Amino acid sequence: MSKPIITVIVPVYKAMATLDRCVESVLSQQIAGGLACILVDDGSPDDSGKLCDTWAARDARVTVIHQEDMGVSVARNSGLAAADSEFIVFLDSDDALRPGALQAAMDVQNDAPQSFVFWHYTNDAQDTAPVTADAETRPQNALARLWMDCLLAMPWNKLYRTELAQQLQFDSQYTLGEDLQFVLDYIALLGTKQPDFTYTVMTAPLTFYDCSRGGTLSTKYHADYCKIWPEHFAKLNKACHAASCPQNDMRPLHRAELTVFAEGVADILRRDPAKNPRVRRDKAIAALHSPWMQALLERMRLEQCYCAYYLPCRWHSVRLIYRLAEAKRTGSPLYGKLDWAGYYLLRGKMRRD
């Protein structure tokens, strides 16, 4: 039996409610060259592992790896090591591929063999947008823009060359944002092997991303949030500078970085388990004094790049940061009022674009 063109790797943990939908979406794909599906049962305490075995018994294209609970990064690494195909696609067990997704992705890859293929996603399980091979080519200096377009940070909306991806691993030391590290490592490796590569972004949403289920990492409090994200952003900025991303893209990126960090500071005040409010406040203030934060604020000053959190962070005002973040989180008009108040305090001399 010849090896398949694509392997879909699915980490599985407490996925009884969604695993059938996920696997069915993979196995129903009609693709020239065939496909394989690797389900990595990451020590799931429910019957997800048994359900994986049921799928393997039902369809020879499914392989199951059972391992102790070591986290999603290690699960993906296990699937990556076991893959034997030309390309790899990652998929989370609560998500699904839309009909025709893999063949459309391969059509684009075949038409642009020098490209790294990305695609959009949908949060609507009933999305009727047609799956086509329509795509746009973006140069390497579009890296910052890919982040701003919410296409870069996740691993599951991309078509990876197996021979390259297997030279890398997801970093299990991170419990937040580790996907971005892997994607940036892959891009760096691709650049060494194929310096003239481009990004090809498919216009159709190929993946259904289910954001309705609670309990994901993005909804949990992370004590090291304000330590982890600066490390990710430092790597992203380094990659963007290496790619000569234009200043018009770097300003929005820096604004987004400040927003992510400031809202992490606010989350310390809102959800840190320390019972003493003063302990939470001291932790938040310490985060604001980090060298990374000071360097970011200085870059933004030189770029004249405005953000609603710019002055509160310069002032180290955790109270004002918290009020802004809460207003934004709850949809209060106070956020807009505070945003424009800060802009006018700076006499409108900073850029909002």
- Both 244 and 204 in one domain: the answer is no
Q: What is the pLDDT of residues 37-50, one digit of tens each?
A: 999 999 999 999 99
Instruction: Enumerate residues 6+ apart whose C-beta is below 8 A from 313.
Output: 258, 261, 262, 288, 293, 297, 321
Cβ count within 10 A of residue 48: 22
Residue 215 lies in a domain: no
- pLDDT at res. 353: 86
Closest CA to 256 of 299, 201, 208, 211: 299
DSSP for 159-202, please give it. Answer: EEEHHHHTT----TT-SSSHHHHHHHHHHHHHHHH-TT-EEEEE
- Both 185 and 277 in one domain: the answer is no
Boundary residue ending a domain (185, 208, 231): 208
- Both 200 and 134 in one domain: the answer is yes
Q: Which of 43-57, 119-133, 230-244 has the lowest mean pLDDT?
A: 119-133
- Both 52 and 191 in one domain: the answer is yes
Mean pLDDT (the chain) is 95
Interatomic CA distance for residues 296 and 319, integer angstroms: 20
Judged against a pLDDT cut of 50, whether residue 3 lies above it is answered with yes
Residue 32 lies in a domain: yes
Question: What's the full length of the chain, in residues?
Answer: 353
- pLDDT at res. 1: 58
Q: Which of 102-106, 218-222, 297-301, 327-331 has the lowest mean pLDDT?
A: 218-222
- pLDDT at res. 335: 97
Structural domain that includes position 100: 6-208
Residue 353 lies in a domain: no
* C-alpha torsion angle, residues 91, 195, 109, 7 (rounded to 10): -30
- % of the chain with per-residue pLDDT over 70: 97
Residue 93 lies in a domain: yes
- Both 201 and 230 in one domain: the answer is no
- Both 298 and 182 in one domain: the answer is no
- The arithmetic mean of pLDDT across residues 161-178, rounded, is 94
- pLDDT at res. 212: 64
Q: How confident is the model at residue 194 (pLDDT cuts 50, 70, 90)?
A: very high
Closest CA to 303 of 261, 346, 350, 237: 350
- Both 204 and 225 in one domain: the answer is no
- Both 18 and 94 in one domain: the answer is yes
Residue 214 lies in a domain: no
- Both 235 and 300 in one domain: the answer is yes
Cβ count within 10 A of residue 178: 21
Residue 161 lies in a domain: yes
- Position of tokens 């309705």? 212
Decide: helix, strand or coil at residue 174. Answer: coil
- Both 17 and 154 in one domain: the answer is yes
- % of the chain with per-residue pLDDT over 90: 92
Judged against a pLDDT cut of 50, whether residue 215 lies above it is answered with no
| DSSP type of residue 244 | T
- Both 235 and 286 in one domain: the answer is yes
Q: Which is higher by pLDDT, 352 or 216?
A: 352
Judged against a pLDDT cut of 60, whether residue 236 lies above it is answered with yes
The model's pTM is 0.94
Judged against a pLDDT cut of 70, whether residue 214 lies above it is answered with no
Boundary residue ending a domain (208, 233, 267): 208
Q: What is the CATH number of the domain that holds 48?
A: 3.90.550.10
Residue 26 lies in a domain: yes
Q: How confident is the model at residue 126 (pLDDT cuts 50, 70, 90)?
A: confident
Judged against a pLDDT cut of 60, whether residue 217 lies above it is answered with no
Residue 293 lies in a domain: yes
Q: Which of 28-37, 81-90, 121-130, 147-156 has the lowest mean pLDDT?
A: 121-130
- Both 240 and 321 in one domain: the answer is yes
Q: What is the pLDDT of residues 247-291, one digit of tens each?
A: 999 999 999 999 999 999 999 999 999 999 999 999 999 999 999
Please count the structural domains in the chain: 2
Boundary residue ending a domain (208, 239, 271): 208
